[in-house]
């Protein structure tokens, strides 16, 4: 089967993988650690608590340093959104050509779903900015619950994308399947993290290791992927 992508394009995809890692670290530099309920990051508490009382405690007054740092993180996140959507769309199109059952629709579905995740992420950021601009007493449960719904949809679609692409890799039944195992682990733990928020860190670490492994292979040995997947 002729591949949609060439070796040169796969190396560019490898560069996207490392851009994803670098940008995730760049965004993480703005993270504010907290310990409120089940949340360890102020951004997660803002976007997933659904509670005005929790958000008011976490972000403080209108001129607080927490609000300023969260705002900076949201601005950086717009760049990160573009990077992960581009990466997972490209991976979905590549994996859709694998010679395993259901690879075609799983890969294309992954590409479509991650675009949806990115769209919800953009909306989430604007809703977060709106809350950060309010006085504490004007932050309501209704606003926070709306933000939680949008944020939850983003994470569900992101982890669903990872799961779709993981299944294709696992079905290859070769050593690339180990990367698929890391990705499916990330997806499963990620879904659980929507209820148990302390699981976000292991879920995202697992995904990060999988992306690094893919990036190395795509940059160093794209022809091997062309032979084994296409």
pLDDT score recorded for residue 8:
82
Label residue 134 left, alpha or beta by phi (over 0 means left) and psi (-120 to 50 means alpha). Answer: beta
Q: Which of 84-93, 94-103, 112-121, 180-189 has the lowest mean pLDDT?
A: 94-103
Q: Residues 10-67: pLDDT tens digits?
A: 899 999 999 999 999 999 999 999 988 889 899 999 999 999 999 999 998 888 999 9
Residue 56 lies in a domain: yes
pLDDT at 33: 92
Residue 171 in any domain: the answer is yes
Q: Rounded to whole angstroms, how far apart are CA atoms 119 and 63?
A: 29
pLDDT score at 230: 65
Quote the tokens at residue 216. Answer: 């190395």
Q: Alpha-carbon distance 215 to 212, whole Å?
A: 5
**In a domain? residue 112:** yes
Instruction: Say if residue 113's pLDDT is above 60.
Output: yes
* 151, two tokens: 């944020």
Is 196 within 8 Å of 172 (Cβ atoms)? Answer: no
Tell me the pLDDT of the chain averaged across its residues. 92
Q: Which residues on neighbouring strands pair with residue 33, listed in sequence order? A: 41
Instruction: Report pLDDT digits (tens) over 166-207.
Output: 999 999 888 889 999 999 999 999 999 999 998 999 999 999
Structure tokens given for 131: 């809350």
User: Does a structural domain hold residue 23?
Assistant: yes
Name the 3-class secondary structure at 36. Answer: strand
Asked if residue 128 has pLDDT above 60, the reply is yes
Q: How many independent structural domains does the chain possess?
A: 1
Question: By percentage, how much of the chain surpasses pLDDT 90?
Answer: 79
Average the pLDDT over each of 1-5, 19-23, 97-101 and give the range with the smallest value. 1-5
What is the average per-residue pLDDT within 150-163?
98
Cα–Cα distance measured from residue 114 to residue 199, given in angstroms and rounded to the nearest whole number: 21
Per-residue burial over 101-130, b if 16 or more Cβ lie within 10 Å, else e, is eebeebbbbbbebbebbbbbbbbbbebbee
Q: What is the pLDDT of residue 215?
A: 94
Q: Does residue 105 lie in a domain region?
A: yes
CA-CA distance, 62 to 129, in Å (whole number)? Answer: 12
Q: For the segment 73-83, what is each residue's pLDDT rounded down to a tens digit?
A: 999 999 999 99
Range of the domain at 218: 7-229
pLDDT(1) > 60: no
In a domain, 1, yes or no: no
CB 170 within 8 A of CB 177: yes
User: Is residue 153 assigned to a domain?
Assistant: yes
Which two structure tokens, joined as six digits, stand for 149?
A: 């719904």
- Domain assignment present for residue 149? The answer is yes
């Amino acid at each position: 089967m002729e591949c949609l992508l060439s070796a040169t394009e796969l190396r560019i995809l490898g560069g996207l993988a490392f851009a994803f890692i670098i940008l995730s670290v760049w965004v993480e530099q703005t993270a504010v650690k907290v310990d409120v309920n089940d949340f360890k990051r102020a951004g997660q508490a803002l976007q997933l608590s659904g509670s005005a009382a929790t958000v008011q405690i976490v972000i403080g007054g209108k001129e607080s340093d927490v609000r300023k740092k969260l705002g900076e993180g949201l601005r950086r996140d717009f760049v990160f959104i573009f990077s992960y959507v581009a990466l997972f769309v490209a991976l979905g199109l590549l994996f859709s050509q694998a010679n395993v059952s259901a690879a075609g629709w799983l890969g294309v579905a992954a590409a479509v779903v991650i675009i949806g995740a990115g769209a919800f992420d953009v909306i989430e950021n604007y809703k977060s900015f709106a809350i950060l601009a309010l006085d504490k007493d004007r932050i309501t449960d209704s606003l926070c619950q709306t933000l939680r719904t949008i944020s939850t949809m983003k994470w569900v679609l992101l982890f669903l994308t990872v799961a779709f692409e993981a299944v294709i890799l696992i079905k290859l039944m070769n050593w690339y399947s180990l990367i698929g195992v890391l990705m499916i682990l990330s997806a499963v733990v990620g879904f659980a993290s929507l209820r148990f928020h302390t699981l976000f860190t292991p879920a995202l670490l697992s995904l990060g290791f999988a992306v690094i492994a893919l990036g190395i292979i795509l940059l160093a040995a794209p022809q091997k992927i062309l032979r084994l997947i296409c």
